[in-house]
């Protein structure tokens, strides 16, 4: 569970996307920013989540939102994921887990009875001034846009 709370300033981060372009929190000043952390590119749940966000992208743009996906995948894996599903938003390749750690979403997970350390699927909504306005920890992968926008 992340130590960050609603009302906290968002961690100042910097990371490279699938194309090697740098993204920083300050790049999004004046916009609402959705930072969604997902365990692994091209897996069923992560694909459902990202595709739902893609399919509702016009609604996000209309509401002055920008979206950033983050996982520990390599740039090449992120690029394949983006290209395969035509995502209109960047996917940050956080292989060193600097952003993942800053947001506190790395830790013990359970899947099919097996315990392991990994990314806990979590979404942060950051307001125009860089403050956390919402944290979604119970992500519904097929209806995630509605969780954010409704």
Q: How many CB atoms lie within 10 A of CB 14?
A: 13
Question: How confident is the model at residue 97, as a pLDDT?
Answer: 97
Catalytic residue among 34, 46, 99, 125: 46
Confidence (pTM): 0.95
**Helix (H) or strand (E) segment spanning residue 57:** helix 57-62
**Residue at token pair 């307001």:** 127
Q: How far apart are alpha carbons 146 and 36 in whole angstroms?
A: 14
In the residue annotation, 51 being an active-site residue is answered as no
The b/e string for 36-57 (b: 16+ C-beta within 10 A; e otherwise) is bbbbebeeeebbebbbbbbebe
pLDDT in tens, 38-48: 999 999 999 99
pLDDT band at 1 (very low <50, low <70, confident <90, very high): low
- Give the domains, in start order, of the chain with CATH numbers: 29-149 (3.40.30.10)
Handedness of CA 30, 78, 150, 120 (dihedral sign): negative
Task: List the beta bridge partners of residue 16.
Answer: 22
Query: What are the tens digits of pLDDT across the range 71-112?
Result: 999 999 999 999 999 999 999 999 999 999 999 999 888 777
């Amino acid at each position: 569970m992340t130590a960050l709370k609603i009302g906290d300033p968002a961690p100042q981060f910097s990371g490279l996307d699938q194309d090697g372009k740098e993204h920083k929190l300050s790049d999004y000043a004046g916009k609402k920013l959705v930072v969604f952390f997902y365990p692994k590119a091209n897996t069923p749940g992560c694909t459902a989540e990202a595709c739902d966000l893609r399919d509702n992208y016009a609604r996000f743009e209309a509401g002055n939102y920008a979206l950033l996906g983050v996982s520990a995948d390599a740039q090449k894996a992120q690029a394949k994921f983006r290209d395969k599903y035509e995502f209109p938003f960047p996917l940050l390749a956080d292989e060193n887990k600097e952003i993942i750690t800053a947001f506190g979403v790395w830790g013990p997970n359970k899947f099919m009875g097996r315990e392991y350390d990994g990314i806990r699927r979590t979404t942060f909504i950051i307001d125009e001034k860089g403050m956390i306005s919402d944290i979604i920890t119970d992500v519904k992968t097929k209806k995630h846009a509605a969780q954010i926008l409704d």
